[in-house]
Amino acid sequence: MGPKKLAAKFVVNVTEAGKYYDLHGLFLHVRTSGAKKWLQRYTFNGRIREIGLGSAKVVSLVTARQKANHNLELASEGIDPIENKKQDKVIPKLDFRGYCLKCRT
């Protein structure tokens, strides 16, 4: 028998603080305050890393699994998912001229 997977109904109903594991390093972290967030542990270049995937209120179990699988694909291609996530958030800086041009459009 393989590892036990989480069920969507469980994710909604769980209130006891703790970490509840799914597949591929994905787990639900429930805090004492009742807040729930998705996290994933993976290994990259011999280091254990942990990446946040979002609040369980916003991110469903299915979406969290998809994100976890995507992160594992990135890691297998030699791309660190955390660094990739940081690059996605980078906002290009505009100089004064670029700002003026943007305001005119």
Cβ atoms 25, 40 nearer than 8 A: yes
Query: Any idea where the domains of the chain sit in the sequence?
Result: 8-104
Residues 44, 53: Cα–Cα separation, whole Å:
17
Topology of the domain comprising 8-104: Double Stranded RNA Binding Domain (3.30.160)
pLDDT per residue of the chain (105 residues) written in tens, 0 to 9: 456 789 999 999 999 999 999 998 999 999 999 999 999 999 999 999 999 999 999 999 999 999 999 999 999 999 999 988 887 766 666 677 777 776 776
pLDDT of residue 13: 95
Residue with token string 């800086």: 93
Cβ atoms 28, 22 nearer than 8 A: yes
| Beta-strand pair 47-55/36-44 | antiparallel
Q: Model-level pTM greater than 0.85?
A: no
Cβ atoms 27, 41 nearer than 8 A: yes
Strand partners, 18: 30
Cβ atoms 52, 14 nearer than 8 A: no
pLDDT of residue 84: 87
